[in-house]
Amino acid sequence: MKIKFIFFLMSLAVCWVSPSALANQDRVNTQDATSMKEGQPVTWKATLGTYQDSVTKDTSTDVNLRGSTKDTRFWFGYYQEPTNFKQSRLGAERAMDLASYGKLIYSLQVASGGFVGGSLTWDGKQDNVEGLSPLLGWGRTNAKPYVNLNFDPNDSVLWGGTYSQRQIGQISLFQIFDDRFNTGQRVTHLVWRGSMPNSVSLVVDAFHRSGASEAGDARVSGNGLATTLEMRDYFVRVAYDQKANYTQANITRLALGFRF
């Protein structure tokens, strides 16, 4: 009951901040899923991540705790760089079932430093139904400083689609592009999710990035690959990200986590 009340207050905040909102990290399912445990009202997932910068040689750290119920996710995170920049964040996400039209996902993120952001995403995929389905989304923030750990534009439009087939798994092709700050930022993702024997699953996210850090700056482009291996209640994610945040830096990411 307390969890539902907290989420209700956050949902009111979404309506006040902008007409539509969803947490930027969860606009599409490109990471490991948080499966519900039978007989357990909330399933928790803890993640520790490191981010190695090729230019500064600095290593940043991130700690994240996420809870999931049947149709709601909520999370708490803390990020810190060696330069003493640090940021705490809080978010919640809820999915609305649209029956044969898939689901509508809305949520909110807030962070220290005054950041507020979110978006609204329509995922046309129906549970346990194979074939093609659309993905559409829109995101907005109040333009305050924020560390997006996926390095995709926050104020942006998302469009694409998903193909699901039992033998090959799920394939998603989508693009996220800036529609507010005239940076030309655009990221194209190709994601495959598949299951293997012994409760092992794999998520592979290949992506291409292009655009400028700020309007008028020189454009850059780069590629990246993120792979997540799930083994029962444990998972590991390794990623290499060229021109992260549209700079000359290449970021190597490593994350370890478990569910309980």
Q: Which CATH class is domain 2-259?
A: mainly beta
The CA-atom distances, in angstroms, between 155 and each of 67, 138, 144 are: 26, 8, 11
Neighbours of 96 (CB within 10 A): 11
Checking if the pLDDT of 254 tops 50, the result is yes
Segment 111-143, tens digit of pLDDT: 999 999 999 999 999 988 999 999 999 999 999
Question: How confident is the model over 209-238, as a mean pLDDT?
Answer: 96
Tens of pLDDT, residue by residue over 152-198, are: 999 999 999 999 999 999 999 999 999 999 999 999 999 999 999 98
The pLDDT mean for the chain works out to 88
Whose structure tokens read 């809870």?
67
147 pLDDT band (50/70/90 cuts)?
confident
Dihedral angle computed from the Cα positions of residues 140, 141, 145 and 151, in that order, rounded to the nearest 10 degrees: -20
- Cα separation of the two ends of the chain: 21
Residue 241, helix vs strand vs coil? strand
Distance between CA 34 and CA 168 in Å, rounded? 21
Integer Cα distance of 139 and 92 in angstroms = 15
Distance of alpha carbon 159 from alpha carbon 176, whole angstroms: 7
pLDDT of the residue at 225:
98
Tell me the one-letter amino acid at 171.
I
Quickly state the pLDDT bin for 31 (edges 50, 70, 90): low
Give every CB contact of residue 132 below 8 A, 6+ residues apart in sequence. 161, 162, 163
Nearest alpha carbon to residue 121 among 19, 11, 15, 20: 20
Top-confidence residue, 145 or 22: 145
Where residue 151 falls (left for φ over 0; alpha for ψ -120 to 50; beta otherwise) is: left
Whole-angstrom Cα distance, residue 105 to residue 121? 5
pLDDT confidence of residue 37: 65
| Residue recorded with tokens 């039209």 | 101
- Over residues 50-71, the mean pLDDT reads 95
Quick one: what percent of the chain has pLDDT higher than 90? 78
Query: Are 51 and 64 contacting, i.e. CB atoms less than 8 angstroms apart?
Result: no
